[in-house]
């Protein structure tokens, strides 16, 4: 174990590289979650569709994502598609994380959409709205509001999952830590440092999610 003085000296001296990597980590997480929300909403709507085939497609997607490790999904996208076209490591990781998160977000949206009272859809239809218009104007706004707290938790999970992008050489936090540790023959110190960065990020995101939940609870 490194001494306390050595730990803080290394923490200060390496802050430039870690802060840059932290920005890449946040960028990767935000992009993957935003794309994942699009995936999730799409497959959630397929799941609740009256067309059974669409529901089966959604079930297969969720089963494939839940049944295979995220690192395998990243490798398939990065190495599998490299024979067809060159895909940057950032977008390979972002799309794989989005594909992965999308399955869990789909279940979040499915649950929140189905939690809305069916009478609201019937009320919209009685006013002359089509099913799609009533879904867009009445159901989805309420479903999004109810989905925000679990989406915040999924964001935190996505942040930690982003560390797997290190295995395709993306310069995010974990990759910087392992690279510096290897170059300086001091792996433990840099692993402890990256743990601090992750803890700070998760703590900040947890506070934000908690504030959002309280705000929603007050406004309901």
pLDDT tens sequence across 144-163:
888 888 898 899 999 999 99
Q: Looking up tokens 């006013």, which residue turns up?
A: 127
Higher pLDDT, 17 or 215: 17
Higher pLDDT, 149 or 98: 98
Q: For the purposes of burial, counting CB atoms within 10 Å of the CB of 43, is it exposed (0-12), middle (13-18) or buried (19 or more)?
A: buried
Looking at residue 67, its pLDDT comes to 93
Output the pTM of the full model.
0.88
Tokens of 51: 């067309």
Looking at residue 189, its pLDDT comes to 93
Over residues 105-133, the mean pLDDT reads 85
Q: Alpha helices of the chain — where are they, by DSSP H?
A: 4-13, 15-47, 52-67, 70-75, 89-115, 118-126, 131-134, 140-161, 173-183, 187-219
Looking at residue 117, its pLDDT comes to 85
Looking at residue 84, its pLDDT comes to 74
Confidence of residue 201 (pLDDT cuts 50, 70, 90): very high
């Amino acid at each position: 174990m490194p001494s306390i003085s050595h730990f803080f000296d290394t923490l200060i001296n390496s802050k430039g590289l870690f802060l840059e990597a932290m920005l890449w980590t946040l960028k990767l997480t935000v992009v993957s979650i935003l794309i994942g929300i699009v995936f999730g909403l799409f497959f959630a709507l397929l799941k609740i569709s009256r067309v059974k085939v669409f529901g089966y497609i959604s079930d297969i997607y969720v089963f494939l994502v839940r049944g295979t490790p995220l690192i395998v999904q990243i490798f398939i996208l990065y190495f599998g598609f490299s024979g067809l076209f060159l895909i940057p490591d950032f977008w390979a990781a972002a799309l794989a994380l989005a594909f992965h998160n999308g399955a869990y977000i789909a279940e979040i949206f499915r649950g929140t959409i189905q939690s809305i009272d069916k009478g609201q859809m019937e009320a919209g239809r009685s006013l002359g709205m089509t099913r799609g218009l009533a879904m867009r104007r009445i159901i989805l706004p309420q479903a999004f509001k109810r989905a925000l707290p679990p989406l915040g938790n999924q964001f935190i999970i996505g942040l930690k999952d982003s560390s797997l992008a290190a295995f395709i050489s993306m310069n995010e936090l974990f990759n910087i830590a392992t690279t510096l540790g290897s170059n300086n023959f001091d792996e433990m110190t840099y692993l402890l440092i990256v743990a601090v960065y992750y803890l700070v990020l998760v703590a900040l995101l947890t506070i934000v999610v908690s504030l959002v939940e309280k705000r929603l609870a007050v406004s309901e």
